[in-house]
């Protein structure tokens, strides 16, 4: 099949320009559209970083293509959309208290630091697309001046679930993705990651004042309608402790002041259309119900399934093959293709069904590991269980299996001695 991208018309195309490129939007889109129209039909997601045409490579660093799963009101797929952006070269800024405790880290988006983060996050559900659609709807409602007293939305998202499942990374990746997709609407984005632990002062009654000070700074930023401000409250249960449980503590009044200050300022900034609040929590039982009620989306992020684990391991293997750590270049089939005909061996020698089945078995015994731990396993495999410089895929898979087994043994020993 040799259809070009323009004949399918349901893609998002993100064009990353070199920082020194002076190519304007119209010319860039025209060149990319012409380039893609000559390409064979593209998969669900694709990143292009190499170009035969010097007129492209001189200006364009990469082209990322994503299938657009949304539809218009009449049920048709929308036209392909193009987004141009460059990385901001500024280093993140650190805001501190008078006693040098870090209150927040602030990034100007898009930034190189978060590049590729979105694609590296693998979930069983369509949570990434759902969050993007949520943000797009919130901005659209604001643009069309929908009365929030009749149709209510607060632009607050709560991601909750076990540690290590990628909640914080998803928030950062979402912030970056929003700024890329909204590059024609906003001049730039600003992500403010709040260190919730530092907002509890050692001085009685000061914590509420620190929260107020932080939100005053945020309000100053959102006054500029050309800036998209995303606030990340990681481990929000630290800041928004349940007021019911706080009353049982030794010094409940300070905790109450913090929760009340947080809720008050969240209500104040929701009238601004250019702000989004992203929150994460490992312990939702500890969060004040008033904050949970304010969240438009309360998304559970759980541990990955066998399918997701298999896909995570595949991305790790591809990276190790591309960097020369694994010297053989066998292609691992997607898990759904294995289930269609698990006994059949592909005619192409580089499509190894037996190795896919071996990786599937490793994925099955990796169930229960977080995404954070899963991505460490290939390193542990190479560090502890491989003694040769030339690493074949077979050798790596055997080592990966041993690494997973060692991890479970280590966890068991930790529990015994705790």
Which pLDDT tens digit goes with each residue over 342-377? 455 555 555 568 899 999 999 999 999 999 999 999
125 close to 54: Cβ distance less than 8 angstroms: no
266 close to 312: Cβ distance less than 8 angstroms: no
Which pLDDT tens digit goes with each residue over 191-203? 999 998 887 765 5
- The torsion angle over the Cα atoms of residues 262, 186, 123 and 120, rounded to 10 degrees, is -120
Which pLDDT tens digit goes with each residue over 52-65? 888 899 999 999 99
Can you give the pLDDT at residue 3? 45
Can you give the pLDDT at residue 343? 52
Tell me the C-alpha distance between 289 and 243, whole Å.
9
| Cβ density class 331-358: b for 16+ within 10 Å, e for less | bbbebeebeeeeeeeeeeeeebbebbeb
Peptide bond preceding 291: is omega within 30 degrees of 0, i.e. cis?
no
Per-residue confidence band for 100, with pLDDT thresholds at 50, 70 and 90: confident
Per-residue confidence band for 205, with pLDDT thresholds at 50, 70 and 90: low
Phi-psi region of 86 (alpha: psi -120 to 50; beta: other; left: phi over 0): beta
Q: pTM for the full model?
A: 0.89
Dihedral sign for Cα 167, 170, 176, 178, please: negative
Segment holding 85, helix H or strand E: strand 81-85
Can you give the pLDDT at residue 162? 95
Judged against a pLDDT cut of 90, whether residue 137 lies above it is answered with: yes
What does pLDDT average to over the chain?
A: 87
């Amino acid at each position: 099949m040799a259809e070009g991208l323009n004949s399918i018309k349901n893609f998002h195309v993100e064009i990353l320009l070199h920082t020194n490129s002076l190519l304007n939007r119209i010319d860039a889109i025209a060149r990319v559209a012409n380039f893609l129209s000559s390409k064979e039909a593209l998969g669900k997601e694709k990143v292009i970083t190499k170009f035969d045409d010097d007129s492209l490579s001189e200006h364009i660093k990469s082209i990322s293509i994503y299938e657009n799963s949304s539809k218009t009101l009449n049920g048709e797929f929308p036209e392909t959309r193009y987004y141009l952006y460059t990385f901001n070269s500024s280093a993140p800024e650190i805001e501190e208290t008078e006693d040098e405790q870090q209150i927040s880290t602030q990034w100007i988006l898009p930034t190189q630091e978060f590049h590729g983060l979105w694609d590296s996050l693998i979930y069983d559900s369509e949570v990434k697309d759902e969050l993007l659609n949520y943000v797009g709807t919130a901005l659209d409602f604001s643009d069309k001046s929908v009365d929030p007293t009749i149709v209510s939305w607060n632009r607050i998202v709560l991601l909750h679930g076990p540690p290590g499942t990628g909640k914080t990374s998803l928030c950062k990746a979402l912030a970056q993705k929003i700024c890329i997709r909204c590059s024609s609407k906003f001049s730039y984005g600003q992500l403010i990651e709040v260190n919730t632990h530092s907002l509890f002062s050692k001085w009685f009654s000061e914590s509420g004042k620190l929260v107020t000070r932080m939100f005053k700074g945020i309000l100053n930023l959102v006054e500029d309608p050309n800036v998209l401000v995303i606030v990340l409250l990681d481990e929000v249960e630290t800041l928004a402790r349940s007021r019911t449980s706080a009353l049982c503590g030794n010094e409940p009044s300070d905790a109450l002041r913090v929760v009340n200050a947080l809720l008050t300022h969240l209500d104040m900034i929701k009238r601004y259309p250019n702000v989004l609040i992203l929150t994460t929590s490992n312990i939702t039982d500890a969060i004040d119900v008033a904050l949970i009620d304010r969240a438009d989306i309360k998304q559970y992020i759980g541990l990955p399934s066998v399918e997701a684990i298999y896909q995570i391991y595949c991305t790790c293997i591809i990276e190790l093959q591309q960097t020369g750590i694994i010297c053989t270049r066998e292609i691992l089939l997607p898990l759904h293709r294995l289930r269609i005909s698990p006994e059949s061996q592909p005619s192409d020698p580089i499509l190894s069904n037996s190795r896919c089945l071996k990786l599937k078995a490793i994925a099955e015994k990796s169930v229960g590991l977080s995404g954070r731990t899963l991505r460490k396993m290939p390193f542990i495999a190479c560090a502890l269980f491989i003694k040769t410089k030339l690493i074949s895929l077979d050798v790596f898979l055997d080592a990966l299996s041993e690494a997973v087994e060692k991890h479970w043994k280590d966890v068991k020993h930790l529990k015994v001695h705790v």
